Amino acid sequence: MAYTVGSEIIARTIWCKKEFSCLQKGGCENCANCEIIGENAINALFLRNRISSGCPYYFDFESGYLCTCPTRYAIYKQSGA
Tens digit of each residue's pLDDT (9 = 90 or more) over 24-39? 877 676 666 677 887 7
Looking at residue 54, its pLDDT comes to 80
Looking at residue 32, its pLDDT comes to 60
Looking at residue 30, its pLDDT comes to 60
Among 75, 32, 23, which residue's Cα sits nearest to residue 51? 32
φ, ψ of residue 40 to 5 degrees: the values are -130, 180
Neighbours of 64 (CB within 10 A): 13
Judge whether residue 1 has pLDDT over 60: no
| Cα angle: 51, vertex 36, 21; to 5 degrees | 65
pTM of the predicted protein model: 0.81
Where does the chain show beta strands of DSSP type E? 36-39, 45-47, 58-61, 64-67
Judge whether residue 2 has pLDDT over 60: yes
